[in-house]
Amino acid sequence: MARFNRFSEPAFPRSIEPLLAFCTEVSDLVCGPADAHLPRRVETALRKLVAAPGWLQAPWAASDAKRYQQHLLYRDPQQRFSVVSFVWGPGQGTPIHDHGVWGAVAVLCGAERSQRFVLDAQGRPMPQGPSRLLAVGDSELLLPEEGDIHRVDNAIEDGPSISIHVYGADIGRVRRRVFESDGRTKAFVSGYSETPAMLERLTPAGPGRG
């Protein structure tokens, strides 16, 4: 596991500077005055992040043959937001689920297919319009007040896809729901992969600070 400790060194490697700048910007936004447009401002900054080359390093871009991976990139110390990379292998996708907090998603490589759902009178998830194909650089918002129930699949048949997600909480600890076609729901907490956070802090560790 020592190979993941490089980010506690006194200086940040150049390759992660875009992630550092993005997380610093989001931290400033969530620390500022209440702003109803905050998720959209985060989405705008996220599109710039996925347009920057070379910052996502191999451990946080790793797929798994059994299921999609949710790698933690950064978690705000006050749990006001978290940033993760979702890595989809061929044929992988999520069940129908919600989030319970705002979120912004942008595709870094490959492509995703996102299908929104609404619940009918019996609580059954019904497709809300056609699915949306998200290619590299495309983004979308997930807002509970506007409906945040969806299913996501890798749209690339023979390769991985990666998207970067930002949520208004420590999403790996949020209690959420999976929706069955018959209206039943199942609570879940997603957690993260075993890979440590890519970015542990927003300022370099100085002498004696570890």
Instruction: Assess if residue 201 is contained within a domain.
Output: no
**In a domain? residue 173:** yes
Q: What CATH number is associated with residue 50?
A: 2.60.120.10
- Does residue 30 belong to any structural domain of this protein? yes
Q: 171 CB contacts (<8 Å, ≥6 apart)?
A: 82, 84, 99, 101, 103, 165, 190
The neighbour count for residue 5, using CB atoms within 10 Å, is: 10
Residue 207 domain flag: no
Q: Based on the structure, what is the number of domains in the chain?
A: 1
Q: pLDDT at position 25, please? A: 97
* DSSP-derived secondary structure for 41-110: HHHHHHHHHHHS-S-S-GGGG---SSS-EEEEEEE-TTSS-EEEEEEE-TT-B--SB--SS-EEEEEEES
> Along the 210 residues of the chain, how does pLDDT read in single tens digits?
333 333 333 356 668 999 999 999 999 999 988 888 999 999 999 999 999 999 999 999 999 999 999 999 999 999 999 999 999 999 999 999 999 999 999 999 999 999 999 999 999 999 999 999 999 999 999 999 988 999 999 999 999 999 999 999 999 999 999 999 999 999 999 999 999 999 999 976 444 333
Structural domain including 178 reads 14-55+69-189
* CA 207/CA 210 separation, integer angstroms: 7
